[in-house]
Chain A
Amino acid sequence: MSRDVTLQSLDPRVTRLAIPTEQEPFVGVPEGSHLQTFEVFHQAKSGARHIHVGSIHAPNAEMAMVFAKEQYARRSQCVNLWVVKTSEVIAFSPDDADLFATTPEKDYRDASGYKVMQKILAWKQRIQQEQSQQQQSE
């Protein structure tokens, strides 16, 4: 990238700030100087579960709440938010993805595999038949 990039804004707010027009060489961000991140969980109505909606940078937990409110509860209904330090989330390692590899094959664990409704209907039909036979014989 060229070093002699100049910034010239037409925005009066920017011109007022008297930002130097010569851009200084990029020096990078020192290790550890980034703000920590927090994970945000959004609750749409009382009693509903909190759903993870994303993450934010914040210097501490209180500021994370301040930022989360505008970031994630500004455009949709919300009654509560949780914020959790990303570093405190306990997760599997990406290397352990093979733990879950055969799950899709185990379709016998899929609740939709049960034909419960058909059995219930068959049972109801049988009861009805028995009752009507009883009435006829009486």
Chain B
Amino acid sequence: MEHRAALEDLLVRMADDALIYGHRNSEWTGLAPILEEDIAFSSIAQDKIGHALALYTLLHQLGHPKPDHMAFMRQEHQYRCCHLVELPTQDYAVALMRHALFDYAERVRYEALRESAYKPLAELANKVRGEIKYHVFHANTWLRLLGSEGTDESRARMQAALDLLMPYALGMFEPSPYDDELWRSGIFPGENAIRSRWLDDIVPVLESSGYRVPSIEALEPTVGGRRGYHTEHFQPLLDEMTIVFRLDPDAEW
């Protein structure tokens, strides 16, 4: 198969982002501010883990290990998630701001993939479209409620979260050595294209929701995740996430 390495790299990056982001969000299950929000945020986390499963399944069809083994049995340096999704969140404002930054990028990414020359990925992009639309709707509603419609405290906490997370968010678009090949083969437009479409979407939304967007050019994106270099928070996350599966990897669930 042509462009196999490029395609696999793309699938692993997307799957690992979805898995780790879903896992981090699931940490709020039972702890989110109100019951209704707990259910909504947990459900979004579950959707993301579903997206990870779908992507790992495509990789399995290309000869990679089974999805559960991709998710739970690799070493830290074999994961290709960005640093944004690894960060622990002790403040719900940080969880919500990351949700907005990440899901706007997911929307751009999957929207582009609907046209992908790799048909299984185009089919998946069409399938998850409604879910991602809801994730963005959820994020938007909170952005406004705690921003332009919020209190001084809510705005300040969300703004602090945005200032903290923006360099990490830019790290989502860490260039890949395969970007050019993916673009030429019609599989994926490449990280630079996704980044500029994301900025076109997210900056006006943040501004109209009452936030100051940090100067993008002045920021140093937090990169390395796509090459297997992770934050100090990642190994403890993996230890916790994989502990049960690793007790007996061959168990029937």
Tell me if B145 counts as interface (CB < 8 A to partner A): yes
A56:B141 contact, CB within 8 angstroms: no
B36 with A58: CB separation less than 8 A: yes
Contact status of A13 and B31, CB under 8 A, knowing A69-B134, A70-B43: yes
Interface residues of B in 59-114 (CB under 8 A from A): 88, 90
Question: Is B9 in the interface zone, CB < 8 Å from A?
Answer: no
Give the A interface residue count (CB, 8 A): 20
In angstroms, Cα B90 to Cα A16, docked, is 8
CB of A71 within 8 Å of the partner chain: yes
User: Is A3 an interface position by the 8 A CB rule?
Assistant: no
Measured CA separation A23–B30 after assembly (Å): 18
- Seen from chain A, the residues whose Cβ lies within 8 Å of a Cβ on chain B are 12-14, 16-18, 35, 56-60, 62-63, 66-67, 69-71, 74
Q: Mark B5-40, 1 if CB is under 8 A from A, else 0.
A: 000000000000000000000010011001111011
Name B127-144 residues within 8 Å CB distance of A. 134, 137-138, 141-142, 144
Chain A interface, DSSP helix/strand/loop, else mixed: helix
Q: Which residues of B contact A69 (CB under 8 A)?
A: 40, 134
Query: In whole angstroms, how far apart are the Cα atoms of A74 and B88 in the complex?
Result: 27
Nearest chain B CB to A127 CB, angstrom units: 57
- Contact of B252 with A by CB under 8 A: no
Q: Inter-chain contact count A-B, CB under 8 Å?
A: 43
* B240 within 8 Å of A (CB atoms): yes
Query: Which residues of chain B come closer than 8 Å to A74, judged between CB atoms?
Result: 39, 43
Residue from A17, A56, A59 in contact with B145 in the complex, judged by beta carbons closer than 8 Å: A59
List chain B positions with a Cβ less than 8 A from chain A. 27, 30-31, 34-37, 39-40, 43, 88, 90, 134, 137-138, 141-142, 144-145, 149, 240
Contact B27 A56 (CB under 8 A): no
- A63: contacting residue among B88, B134, B141, CB under 8 A: B141
Interface pair B145/A57, CB less than 8 Å apart: no
Please tell me if the beta carbons of B34 and A70 are within 8 angstroms of each other in the complex.
Answer: no
Q: In the complex the two chains form, what is the Cα distance from A47 to B142 in whole Å?
A: 32
15 A–B pairs (Cβ distance < 8 Å), ordered by A: A12-B240, A16-B88, A16-B90, A18-B90, A58-B36, A60-B145, A63-B142, A63-B145, A66-B137, A67-B36, A67-B39, A67-B40, A70-B36, A70-B43, A74-B39
Is A67 within 8 A of B37, CB to CB? yes
Provide the residues of chain B in CB contact with A60, threshold 8 Å: 145, 149
> Which of chain B's residues have a CB closer than 8 A to the CB of A16?
88, 90
**Assembly CA distance A7 to B78 (angstroms):** 38
Contact B27 A66 (CB under 8 A): no
Among B31, B35, B134, which residue has its beta carbon within 8 angstroms of that of A17? B31
Task: Give the shortest distance, in Å, between A16 (CB) and chain B (any CB).
Answer: 7
User: Given B34, B39, B142, which contacts A35 in the complex, CB threshold below 8 Å?
Assistant: B34
With both beta carbons as reference points, the residue of chain A lying nearest to B134 in the complex is identified as A69
Q: Which residues on the B side are within 8 Å of A62 (C-beta)?
A: 141, 144
Cα–Cα, bound, A74→B134 (Å) = 12
Asked if A71 contacts B88 (CB within 8 A), the reply is no
Give the CA-CA distance A57 to B38 in the complex, in Å: 12
